[in-house]
Amino acid sequence: MSSSAASAAVDVDRNERIAVSLRHEKRRKARKYALLYVFFLTPTVVLFIFHYIPIYGVIIAFKDYRILYGILGSKWNNFEHFARLFTDPYFARIFRNTLLISLYRIVFGFPAPILLALLINEIGNLTFKRVIQSISYLPHFMSWVVLAGIIIEILSPQRGILGAVFNALGKQPPNILTNVRLFRPMLILTGIWQSVGWGTIVYLAAITSIDPGLYESAAIDGANRLQRATYITMPSLYPVMTILFILRLGHVLNAGFDQIFNLYNPIVYEVADIIDTYVYRVGLIDRQFDFSTAVGLFKNVIGVTLIFATNGVIKRFSDYGIW
């Protein structure tokens, strides 16, 4: 056998041994992480069943849906629901309310967890720091049904804390829940209170990954705490902030159904009625399933478009993005 043939045979044998070794390694890892695969499989199946299979039902947005005929048996409507959507003056109002409330949440709510994370990071006492974090996280784990009950009791002019304060000052307490001028600010403030603590988790995790040597060097050079936060912490948070901002814009038409549904009333429909509450009334109460599906589809298309557009603009001017 020639030397070249012998070398080739050795290479083939070595490659076979490497392949066998890799297969054994894969089997070993599969057995080692089998339980983790099971944990991963469960939410995947749930996601597929409750989020992907129902996509089939979007077809009724383009049909005059009749329950007796089913989805496939119902007649196509030549986009009549979407024509009604864009010509209905009532929809224009709820679309405006949704955009305004969502934009207010972004302008005032998006910076809130960043500021809270910076403040918590500056706390030196570990015990006090953990107490503050726990207190700020707590509202996130409470249902809006419970939170709305607390807010209603606090803001009640007759029996609430706010009413007691105004009465002590000799003034007439306002009924914020029926005041079209004050209802939106109340939504924004209570929404921030409910979510700000939970939103700090990501930013605090990003802050802990910053090299402590940067802070030590800045302190040696005479930088105070504000300067270190401004020139070290904030720039290090830009990638995380960018990704969360892009994802937040994708939900710009989700103005907070749970919160608004539990707090609003017909008196403030003018400023508080949003797409999600409208879909609830039209779809579940009035049983116009096809039209409410068209409204929901319109909202989701806008959200996906905003994600792609925002990501494209940010990638154009920086190195950050979600892909």
Q: What is the structure's pLDDT at 165?
A: 86
158: which 2 tokens?
């007759």
The answer to whether 240 and 200 are in contact (CB under 8 A) is: no
Decide if 293 contacts 57 (C-beta within 8 A): yes
Q: Which residues contact 75 (CB under 8 A, 6 or more apart)?
A: 63, 64
d(CA 110, CA 8): 63
* Segments making up each domain of the chain, as ranges: 86-317
Q: Alpha-carbon distance 59 to 176, whole Å?
A: 41
- Give the per-residue pLDDT at 5: 55
Per residue in 50-74, pLDDT (tens digit) is 888 888 888 888 998 888 888 888 8
CATH code for 86-317?
1.10.3720.10
pLDDT at position 90 is: 84
CB 195 within 8 A of CB 147: no
Provide the pLDDT for residue 172: 86
- Which pLDDT belongs to residue 187? 93
Q: What per-residue confidence (pLDDT) applies to 68?
A: 84
Inter-residue contact 276 to 255 (CB < 8 Å): yes
What is the model's pTM? 0.79
User: Low-confidence residues of the chain, pLDDT below 50?
Assistant: 1
pLDDT at 221: 84
Q: Can you tell me the distance from the alpha carbon of 277 to that of 93, in angstroms, rounded to the nearest whole number?
A: 13
